[in-house]
């Protein structure tokens, strides 16, 4: 009997030991499992951040391409003019030297003046005539020098070009707001202008831009994010227009809201596509051309600012996107941190 | 000092026009900010060279230069642009047949030298009014002149064979080496080529070919179009046409037909080939023809020139 109990107890102990071991193992597996899902979550967050980073880079690339074009034209004439004026100065120095030679010729001592013989007198007359002619020609050449006629204009253009370039840099700074962090008060019309400048190379020769921008109260927002919204909507509009067309931008305000609308005369959005346009990763562009994140980020940014976005579209006629933002903005924490530096 | 040229300049930024006028002050310049006036001005003043911007509100530079090519073909055409997108580059080859594709900001010394060269060529070299030949002559040209395809993709080769074989004397090469061999054996008027074969670059070969045999018309067919390579092929390779894969039958036939016409006319009028002279090669740049092995360069140089004047002398 005792031995039976001992055996049972022993068996129980062995079973218990086994059970404890099993539980420990399962616990380990479970822990590994949580580890795995934590890893997966981290990976997903990382890849999402990467995608956002990619769209940021894409808009950066677009910005660089656009700005390169805007910069190269003024840079072209400023650089050329400065060099040409340098050349003109060299030419002018040569003319002044010739003038100097003529003056020297005039200043040659004429000691024949008191000897009255005819030959000397003729020589003298000739010398004076020659001196006059040389001086006259040298002087005329100096006066006609392009340095005096053109250089001022060329330098004026160069200086104008330099202010165009500074405006560009200011606009770029305004667009990216590299000098500001977080929430700021902003005139949305300025945001529209700087986004337009960056998108300009996509429209220049085919899309006409019509602006009806009314004075707006300042809005508290993350300026760099709002600019990204504008750039995205302008770029979409330009891409929706195949060939020539018009982009009309209206801005207006009432007591509570500021509204900015972007209307294109493009292809419009088909009914079956419309409900999906704000979905992340939804795109109608060929693989590799769009991330499908543009409008979803636009939507996220506007929402985080306590605003809303409206779409009205007629296939083959065009689309209007309207961004509505409250005049009294949300708090800083509302904005999307991930896209903050975009 | 070089001779006084008549130069037409078109740009929607008037400051660019003033800058160019001052730079080219030793020549007579005409300028407009309105591209719609360009053709009229080019003819009216019988200009030697046209310098045109690409992006303008009323009309693109490609269109302006294309119209000037038709209305006043004697003028040498130069595109001067601030931003080179691929569409503009392809258009400047296929539609406007520009002499050079230049970027803003430019180098004053180089631009002046280039324009003076172009002006000299415009005055001295005869003009080929149009490349297309009358039917009888075209048939004669087709039966004599070889078309060489350099392409290592078998599928594309097959496609081109279908398009070209019924109409032209076509040869196929899958490497630069093989291409040279075929050109040594057959009179070749048109070279259709990829920009690379078996991962090795072909653009240096095309450039070197143009330097030594400017009358041969090159048609580049490429998959991966890259604006910078394309610009190089214009300036240093004076490529005749640039087509993007997949190749369409119509475009391809049209390009080869007029390329044969171009070669045929240059063959009879070799001094006109100066108009299609490539820019002198520099050692810089990865795909410079000067980087080709000396043996290849020598073979390119000594390819038989089958021009009429040469033929007349040897007979």
**CATH number of the domain residue B175 falls in:** 3.40.50.2300
Q: Does A81 touch chain B (CB under 8 A)?
A: yes
Q: Are B82 and A153 inside 8 Å of each other by CB? A: no
Phi, psi of B77 (to 5 degrees): -110, 130
Residues of A in contact with B104 (CB under 8 A): 72-73, 75-76
Residues B95 and B187 in one domain: no
| Per-residue model confidence (pLDDT) at position B315 | 38
Compute the nearest-CA separation of A228 from chain B (Å).
Answer: 23
The span from the CA of A125 to the CA of A139, in Å, is 21
The domain of B214 spans 135-303
Q: Do B19 and A68 touch (CB under 8 A)?
A: no
Nearest C-alpha of chain A: how many angstroms from B50? 18
Its pTM stands at 0.75
Domain presence at residue B308: no
* In the predicted structure, residue B254 carries a pLDDT above the cut 70: yes
| pLDDT value of position B138 | 93
Domain final residue pick, B75, B101, B124: B124
Asked if B16 and A81 come within 8 Å (Cβ–Cβ), the reply is no
Of A111 and A332, the structure prediction assigns the larger pLDDT to A111
Q: What is the pLDDT of residues B173-214, one digit of tens each?
A: 998 899 999 999 999 999 999 998 877 889 999 999 999 999
Domain membership flag for residue B313: no
Is residue B312 in some structural domain? Answer: no
Query: Which position has the higher pLDDT, B91 or B312?
Result: B91
Identify whether residues B112 and B30 lie together within a single domain.
Answer: yes
Rounded to the nearest integer, the mean pLDDT of chain A is: 79
Within this chain, do residues B115 and B182 fall inside the same structural domain, yes or no? Answer: no
Residues B144, B251: one domain? yes
**B180 inside domain:** yes
Q: Are residues B148 and B120 in the same domain?
A: no
Chain B residues interacting with chain A (CB cutoff of 8 angstroms): 13, 15-16, 18-20, 22-23, 25, 55-57, 60, 82-83, 103-106, 108
End residue of a domain, out of B124, B145, B180: B124
B151 and B204 share one domain: yes
Confidence of residue A282 (pLDDT cuts 50, 70, 90): low
Query: Tell me, what's the pLDDT at B274?
Result: 93
Does B129 fall in a domain? no
Residues B60 and B152 in one domain: no
Asked whether the beta carbons of residue B23 and residue A84 sit closer than 8 angstroms, the reply is: yes
CA gyration radius, chain A:
39
- % residues pLDDT > 70 (chain A): 73
Domain boundary pick from B96, B124, B152: B124
Q: How many CB atoms lie within 10 A of CB A257?
A: 14
Contact call for B105 and A72, based on CB within 8 A: yes
Q: Is the predicted ipTM greater than 0.85, yes or no?
A: no
Q: A 195-214 residues with CB below 8 A of B?
A: 201, 204-205
- Binned at pLDDT 50, 70 and 90, residue A331 comes out as very low
Number of structural domains (chain B) is: 2
Asked if residue B80 and residue B16 are part of one domain, the reply reads yes
Q: Rounded distance, CA A47 to CA A56, Å?
A: 14
Nearest alpha carbon to residue A189 among A249, A229, A117: A249
Measured CA to CA, the distance from residue B148 to residue A211 in angstroms comes to 55
User: Is residue B94 included in any domain, yes or no?
Assistant: yes
**Is-contact A262 A313, C-beta < 8 A?**
no
With b meaning 16 or more CB within 10 Å and e meaning fewer, what string describes A75-106? Answer: bbbbbbbbbbbeebeeebeebeebbeebeeee
Most confident of A27-31, A66-70, A143-147, A245-249: A245-249
Percent of chain B with pLDDT over 70: 96
pLDDT of residue B223: 83
Q: Report yes or no: B52 and B102 within 8 Å, Cβ to Cβ.
A: no
Is there a single domain that holds both residue B139 and residue B271? yes
Contact B104 A73 (CB under 8 A): yes
B82 and A68 within 8 Å at the Cβ level: the answer is yes
Q: Do B249 and B279 belong together in one domain?
A: yes
Residues of chain B with Cβ-Cβ distance to A72 below 8 Å are: 82-83, 103-105
Choose from B1, B9, B12, B15 for mutation: most chain A CBs within 10 A. Answer: B15
Residues of A in contact with B55 (CB under 8 A): 69, 201, 204-205
Cα torsion for A263, A266, A270, A271, to the nearest 10°?
A: 20
Q: How far is the C-alpha of B233 from the C-alpha of B220, rounded, in Å?
A: 9
Report the pLDDT value the prediction gives residue A3, as an integer from 0 to 100.
53
**Exposure of A141 in the CB half-sphere (CA atoms within 13 A):** 17
B105 and B62, same structural domain? yes
Of residues B156, B208, B202, the one with CA closest to residue B178: B202
Q: Which of B311, B310, B272 is nearest to B130 (CA)?
A: B272
Q: Does A79 touch chain B (CB under 8 A)?
A: yes
Q: Are residues B158 and B46 in the same domain?
A: no
Nearest to A154 among B22, B83, B103 (CB): B22
Q: Are A72 and B104 a contacting pair at CB < 8 A?
A: yes
Residue B292 within any structural domain of the chain: yes
């Amino acid at each position: 009997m005792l031995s039976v109990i001992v055996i049972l107890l022993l068996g129980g102990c062995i079973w218990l030991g086994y059970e404890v071991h099993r539980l420990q193992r399962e616990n380990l597996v479970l822990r590994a499992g949580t580890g795995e899902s934590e890893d997966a979550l981290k990976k997903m967050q990382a890849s999402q951040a990467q995608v956002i980073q990619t769209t940021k880079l894409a808009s950066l690339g677009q910005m660089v391409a656009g700005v390169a074009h805007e910069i190269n034209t003024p840079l072209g004439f400023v650089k050329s003019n400065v060099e040409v004026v340098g050349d003109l100065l060299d030419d002018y120095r040569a003319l002044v030297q010739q003038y100097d030679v003529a003056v020297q010729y005039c200043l040659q001592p004429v000691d024949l003046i008191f000897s009255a013989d005819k030959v000397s007198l003729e020589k003298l007359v000739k010398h004076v005539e020659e001196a006059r002619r040389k001086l006259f020609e040298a002087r005329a050449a100096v006066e006609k020098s392009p340095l005096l006629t053109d250089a001022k204009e060329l330098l004026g253009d160069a200086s104008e070009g330099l202010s165009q370039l500074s405006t560009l840099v200011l606009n770029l700074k305004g667009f990216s707001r590299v000098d500001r962090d977080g929430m700021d008060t902003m005139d949305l019309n300025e945001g529209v202008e700087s986004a337009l400048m960056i998108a300009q190379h996509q429209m220049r020769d085919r899309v006409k831009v019509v602006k009806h921008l009314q004075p707006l109260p300042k809005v508290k927002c993350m300026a760099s994010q709002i600019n990204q919204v504008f750039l995205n909507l302008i770029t979409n509009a330009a891409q929706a227009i195949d060939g020539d067309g018009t982009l009309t931008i209206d801005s207006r305000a009432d007591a509570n809201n500021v509204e900015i609308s972007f209307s294109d005369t493009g292809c419009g959005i088909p009914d079956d596509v419309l409900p999906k346009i704000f979905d992340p990763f939804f795109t109608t562009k060929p693989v590799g051309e769009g991330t499908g994140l543009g409008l979803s980020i636009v939507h996220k940014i506007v929402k985080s600012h306590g605003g809303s976005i409206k779409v009205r579209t007629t296939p083959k006629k065009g689309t209007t996107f309207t961004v509505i933002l409250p005049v009294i903005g949300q708090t800083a924490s509302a904005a999307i941190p991930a896209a903050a530096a975009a | 000092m070089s001779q006084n040229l008549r130069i037409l300049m078109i740009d929607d930024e008037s400051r660019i026009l003033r800058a160019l006028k001052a730079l080219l002050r030793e020549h007579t310049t005409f300028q407009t900010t309105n591209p719609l006036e360009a053709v009229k001005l080019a003819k009216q003043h019988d200009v030697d060279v046209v310098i045109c911007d690409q992006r303008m509100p009323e009309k693109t530079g490609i269109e302006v230069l294309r119209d000037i090519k038709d209305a006043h073909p004697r003028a040498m055409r130069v595109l001067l642009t601030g931003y080179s997108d691929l569409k503009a580059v392809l258009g400047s080859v296929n539609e406007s047949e520009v002499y050079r594709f230049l970027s803003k900001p430019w180098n004053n010394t180089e631009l002046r030298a280039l324009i003076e060269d172009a002006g000299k060529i415009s005055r001295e070299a005869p003009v080929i009014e149009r490349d297309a030949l009358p039917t009888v002559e075209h048939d004669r040209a087709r039966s004599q002149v070889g078309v060489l395809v350099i392409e290592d993709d078998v599928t594309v080769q097959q496609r081109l064979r279908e398009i070209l074989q019924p109409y032209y004397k076509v040869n196929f090469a899958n490497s630069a080496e093989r291409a040279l061999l075929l050109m040594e054996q057959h009179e070749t008027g048109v070279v259709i080529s990829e920009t690379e074969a078996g991962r090795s670059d072909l653009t240096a070969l095309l450039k070197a070919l143009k330097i030594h045999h400017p009358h041969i018309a090159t048609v580049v067919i490429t998959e991966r179009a890259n604006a910078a390579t394309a610009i190089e092929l214009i300036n240093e390779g004076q490529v005749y046409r640039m087509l993007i894969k997949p190749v369409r039958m119509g475009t391809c036939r049209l390009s080869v037909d007029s390329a044969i016409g171009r070669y045929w006319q240059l063959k009879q009028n070799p001094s006109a080939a100066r108009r299609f002279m490539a820019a002198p090669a520099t050692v810089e740049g990865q795909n410079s023809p000067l980087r080709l092995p000396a043996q290849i360069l020598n073979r390119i140089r000594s390819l038989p020139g089958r021009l009429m004047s040469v033929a007349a002398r040897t007979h």
